[in-house]
Structure 1
Amino acid sequence: MSAPRLKNRHRHDGAVALDDDATLHAMGYPRKLTRRFRAFDNFAISFTIINIISGIFSAFGFGMVAGGPRILVLGWIGVSVMVLFVGAAMGEIASAYPTSGALYFSAGKLAKRNRGAWSWYTGWLNFVGQVGGTAATGYAAATFIQAFVVMQWPGYEITGQRTVLITTLIVLLQALANTYTVQLVAALNRISVWWLLIGMVVIVVCLAFIPTHHQSPSFITHFVNNTGFSNGLYAAMLGLLVTSWTFTGFDGSFHMSEETVKATVNTPRGIMRAIGCSAVAGLVLMLALVYAIRDYAATASASAPPVQILIDGLGTSTAKLLLLIVIGAMLFCGLANMTSNTRQIFAFSRDGAMPGSQLWHSVSLRTRTPVKAVWLAAACSLVLIIPAWWSHTAFTAIVSVNVVGLYLAYGVPIFLRLRLGDAFEAGPWSLGRWGKPVARVAVTWIVFSSVLFMLPQVSPITGTTFNYAPIALGVVLLIATVWWFATARRRFQGPVSYGSPDEVAAMDLI
């Protein structure tokens, strides 16, 4: 059975367009959220969550150990291309189903049978991936804040306990911002784009012209394997985590579609523009950092290798100023990630798929945002960082939870769209005959990367180096499975329709 074609299409300026409210009503939902996001805002949310500065600076040290310059640079290019395939396949689906439910909603609509189960598991994978993103970004910001403190006060000691406490403070402040200053959050998402782009240019220019020493052009072919594993190919594949971790969260544009004007076109464009701009700008930043490395061994062993690169090449004073740009980018990223995370919780709860759904999909009358969902997102993120209290590899494990959870959630609706074949009815933004080939490449990459990032990342494997990502994901999936067979399969049949278009239009709160 094919997905239903949305009605109320009309021609405008020679192109197919959709009335936003009519589209939402055709999917069975009343309008509860304010459409304050225009094309740039929709792009900004995904560009900010991808966040090249945050992603590259937080994972660069791992890449220096797992593959070195060859994987940092060439891996960036290769993974960026694969992510463009994933983004294009997602964008086509987003154009057909522009709703906050995003991935789980489209999975339920695209499945030929067992729609409830497909939707259920996609939603829970998306949930744990989003929570992982909020936790990992907050943890990275805490790490770099402490790096700045050490530069200012050398006697300060960085510990796992302090990192967890600072991460907790960051997440709570971001939750407060999403609760009480919604208009400010929207403005900050716009500002974040320019912060990232201008900040990237400033960092690159400084690294290109101030240092007295740069590596030779052939340095990008330099390969390093200090993971503890003897197999160089395995180490190189692990190094792809740097780029894959950076390119997560672009489903943020999809989740914000109920708050975006002309969502059937602006949402997929936002996804593709965010990925494309991040790919180009990120490659420039990656090259600047790689060629500015002075002493490779000393830099790789530093507590924050990119900070060491800045200190060696620019001096402590300039490095501190640039580090403030990095910290700001990470805080912007975490704020946007929590906003996206909250909308996913809101939509999933709206269809009764989470414990206490009535709470999490309620909307504040003052801000027209799901405030209670904000605090659920914050609480779950804090639970995920608890192992960092004693584990020094917790960050890469949290990153793996983020990458695997999100990409599996991305892959399910793309796979179902592929299985639907020509019966898939695209929206105004369509890949046409390229839809199926693009979806095949996307699914292949998602399966490969998901398996890779569930594997051990450091050898020897001990209690402190163990990659607990499989356990975290396994626990979530086990709970989801037990709950599904115990009660959910009898009451959850996938996305809920609240009535006919006319009926739900009468329920609009705005």
Structure 2
Amino acid sequence: MTDSPSIAEGAAPLRRELGWYASFAIAFGFVSIATGIFTTYGSILASSGPRGIWAWPIAATGQALVALVLGALAARIPLTGYAYQWVSRIASPIWGWLMGWTSFTFLVVVVSAVDYTIAATIFPELFGYSPTAANCWAVTAVVMLLQAILVSLSTKIANRTNQVAVSVQIVGMIGITVLLFIVGAIAGQLDFSTLFSTAPVEESGYWSFGGPTEAGPFPMAFLLGAFTIVGFESAANLTEETRNPETTIPRAMVQAVISLGVLGFLFLVAVTALVENSAELAESATPIATVITSVLGPVVGRVLLVLVVISIFSCGLVITMSGTRLIWAMSRDKRFPAWQLLSKISPKLDTPLSATVFYFIVTQSLLAIFAGSDDALFVLFSAATLLPALIYAGTVLMYAIKRRSLPKSRGFDLGRFEVPVLILAGVWLVYELLIFRDASFAKPWIYVGIMVGIGLVYLGYLLMTRGKSGLTMPNMADIDRTLDQETNS
């Protein structure tokens, strides 16, 4: 039926050693509210004012709906490669390949966006030096190298490192949020009216959706949640290393999004209620640290910066794991450049070592391209927000079209809520994508266009050398048969 080794006998397996908390930590670590909020809060203040934080619960709800849909797919098709595997089977291998390439395009840029934050905003504040294009490039490259080394050495070590980092992040974020409310209330600094202020943005036209090439102030605020609450599906990219993935993965994804949404909003409320001058704060390179330092003192402010460094490192580590697994999964199916090398599992390390090295080389190349730009951080985080929106929209659309032809899930199932969840998730994703018509996102669209163009060239090569029939994928019955054999063995 197919030459795909995804479920073929003899394919090099990955070791199943991850449980629920590991999967939860992967989803939570990729999203990393400390990273996302710290990176984008200043931009949202400048574009939408303090009132912009009210877009967060809407965005969190929209992403939770998307997580429910992706959870249903992860339960039905529990294979490493997530969106690539899902769309290949519910739509067609060609659409699945395009989805896989788009996911690869996202995963190689988002790690740069995340790690660049350490170099451009946090280390300069923490160690008191001025950021330059050269030192930001160097620091980011070193951080990415450390993450690649950890992922190469051992999946268990990388996941334990991530679990510790996520635990520190959860405890730290809860502790700082509680302290902000308590100390702010005692000192009389909490002013909840600030939550409804628009300064430095004009009140007039605040709720406008905007024009053909310009998004309004409030729609721009959705980027805070849209950039932060992405990547939760990364847990599904380690499906073949997870025990009982049909139930473990969907539960971990949804629970991570809900907990991140609630904790993130409480933190945003605490910080924003303590803002004294939002117009002035919007100019700060580290507005979150500025507020916390003014309320809790410089020591706690520095603790926050250390917490954010830990969170960002954890986030980049999970992204690296997810990126290498996607490359490995597509190479295993002979669908990725240099698949003969990249499909190998290191016999000594039990990790996709070649795929990790390749991922590191590509990410370093992209970093070199973006690092020289004056607005590198904005371009990187914008591209890292646009791409997952495209991936989610394409996957949800394919699921909505093909859902009736899919056999019943053995694990997570949307049941009678499937149709309303699909409709609401679709509405949210269309709204989110429309924000990216704003002219400020021209460079991210150029990046997407170039990468998609490269992908189409390679897809054309695959079709010419193998033909459409050479890109077929195993059907659902094959997947079930393989899962049964694995369970029985």
What TM-score comes out, normalization by structure 2 length?
Answer: 0.88
- What pairs with 1:248-259 in structure 2 (closer than 5 Å)? 248-259=230-241
User: Of 35, 43, 46, which residue of structure 1 is paired with 2:16?
Assistant: 35
Equivalent residues in 2 for 1:186-265, closer than 5 Å: 186-211=159-184, 212-224=187-199, 233=208, 234-265=216-247
Q: Deviations over 1:106-159 (max 9, x none)?
A: 101111xxx12211110011111112221111111223432334xx44xx2112
Sort the Cα spacing of 1:31 and 1:361 in 2 relative to 1 into closer, same or farther, 3 A: closer
Q: Per-residue CA shift, 1:440-499, capped at 9, x if unaligned?
A: 322332233234235333xxxxxxxx74100110001111222323443652525468x9
Q: Distance in 2 between matches of 1:260 and 1:269?
A: 13
Paired residues for 1:48-447 under 5 Å: 48-72=29-53, 74-111=54-91, 115-149=92-126, 152-153=127-128, 156-211=129-184, 212-224=187-199, 233=208, 234-427=216-409, 428-447=411-430
Report which stretch shifted further, 269-278 or 316-325.
316-325
AA of the residue aligned to 1:474: G
User: Are residues 365 and 131 of structure 1, via their aligned partners in 2, closer, same or farther at CA, if it must alter by over 3 Å?
Assistant: same
Shift of 1:31: 5.9
Higher helix share: 2
Cα shift readout 1:55-104 (whole Å, capped 9, x = no counterpart)? 111111111112122112x1111001101110001101111000002111
Shift of the alpha carbon at 1:239?
Answer: 1.9
AA matched with 1:320? R
Normalised to the residue count of structure 1, the TM-score between the two structures is 0.85
Closer/same/farther in 2, CA of residues 146 and 192 from structure 1, 3 Å limit = closer
State the Cα deviation string for residues 401-453 of structure 1 (Å, max 9, x = none): 22222232223232112112422223121101222331232233223323423
Change (3 A) 1:507 1:385: same
Pick closer, same or farther for the CA change 1:318–1:439 going to 2, 3 Å: same
Residues 421, 181 of structure 1: CA spacing in aligned structure 2 closer, same or farther, 3 A cutoff? Answer: closer
Q: Secondary structure at the match of 1:256?
A: helix
Structure 1: how far apart are the matches of 2:437 and 2:332? 31
The equivalent position to 1:477 in structure 2, one of 444, 448, 452, is 452
Percent of residue pairs identical: 23
Describe the SS at the equivalent of 2:348. Answer: coil
Equivalents in 2 of 1:125, 1:29: separation in Å? 29
CA distance in 2, matches of 1:493, 1:312: 59
Q: C-alpha offsets along residues 318-362 of structure 1, whole Å, 9 cap, x if unaligned?
A: 211221111111111111111111111111111122211112221
Deviation at 1:207, TM superposition (A): 2.1
Distance in 2 between the 1:123 and 1:164 partners? 28
Letter of the 2:471 counterpart: Q
CA-to-aligned-CA distance 1:221-254 (integer Å, 9 cap, x gap): 1124559x98763122122111111111111111
Per-residue displacement from partner, 1:17-58 (whole Å, max 9, x unpaired)? xxxxxxx85x87846101011111111100111111111111
Cα distance in 1, alignment partners of residues 199 and 328 from structure 2: 44
CA shift in 2, pair 1:454/1:32, >3 Å: farther
Partner of 1:15: none
SS of the equivalent of 1:365 reads coil
One-letter identity of the residue aligned with 1:431? L
Q: CA-to-partner distance for each residue in 1:341-393, whole Å, 9 max, x for gaps?
A: 11111111111222111122211111211011112222222233334433232
1:44 is matched with which residue? 25
SS at 2:471 equivalent = coil
**Secondary structure, aligned partner of 2:439:** coil
Asked if the contact 1:219–1:291 (Cα under 8 Å) also holds between the matched residues in 2, the reply is yes
Instruction: Please tell me whether the aligned partners of residues 196 and 329 of structure 1 are also in contact (alpha carbons under 8 angstroms).
Output: yes
Residue 213 and residue 294 in structure 1: after superposition, are their counterparts in 2 closer, same or farther (change >3 A)?
Answer: farther
User: Is residue 474 of structure 2 the alignment partner of residue 493 of structure 1?
Assistant: no
Residue 79 of structure 2 aligns to which amino acid in structure 1? T
| Runs (5+) with no aligned partner, structure 1 | 1-23, 458-465
- The number of residue pairs the alignment matches comes to 467
- Asked if the contact 1:66–1:239 (Cα under 8 Å) also holds between the matched residues in 2, the reply is yes
Q: Distance in 2 between matches of 1:420 and 1:89?
A: 13
In structure 2, the CA distance between the partners of 1:409 and 1:275, relative to structure 1 (3 Å rule), is same
Residue pair 2:119, 2:131 contacting (<8 A) in 1 also? no
How far off its partner does 1:264 sit? 0.7
Q: Report the equivalent of 1:5.
A: none
Q: Is the 8 A contact 2:370 2:380 kept in 1?
A: no
CA 1:238–1:28: 2 relative to 1, 3 Å: farther
Cα gap change, 1:232 to 1:389, in 2 (>3 Å): farther
Query: Structure 2: which amino acid aligns with 1:165?
Result: A
Letter in 2 for 1:129: F
Q: 1:451 to 1:131 in 2, by over 3 A?
A: farther
Letter in 1 for 2:453: L
> CA distance change for structure 1 residues 237 and 348 in 2, over 3 Å: closer, same or farther?
same
8 Å contact from structure 1 (residues 95, 426) kept in 2: no
Change (3 A) 1:397 1:496: farther
Offset of 1:263 from its aligned partner?
A: 0.6
Work out whether residues 175 and 378 of structure 1, in 8 Å CA contact, stay in contact via their aligned partners in 2. Answer: yes
The structure-2 alpha-carbon separation of the partners of 1:214 and 1:376, relative to structure 1 and needing over 3 Å to count, comes to farther
* Alpha-carbon RMSD: 2.7
The amino acid across from 1:132 in the alignment is: V
Q: 1:506 to 1:281 in 2, by over 3 A?
A: closer
Which AA in structure 1 matches 2:31? I
The answer as to whether partners of 1:164 and 1:388 remain within 8 angstroms in 2 is no
> Given residue 409 of structure 1, which amino acid in structure 2 is its aligned partner?
I
Structure 2 stretches lacking a partner, 5+ long: 1-5, 209-215
Find the aligned partners of 1:62 and 1:130 in 2 and give their Cα distance: 23
Aligned AA (1:182): T
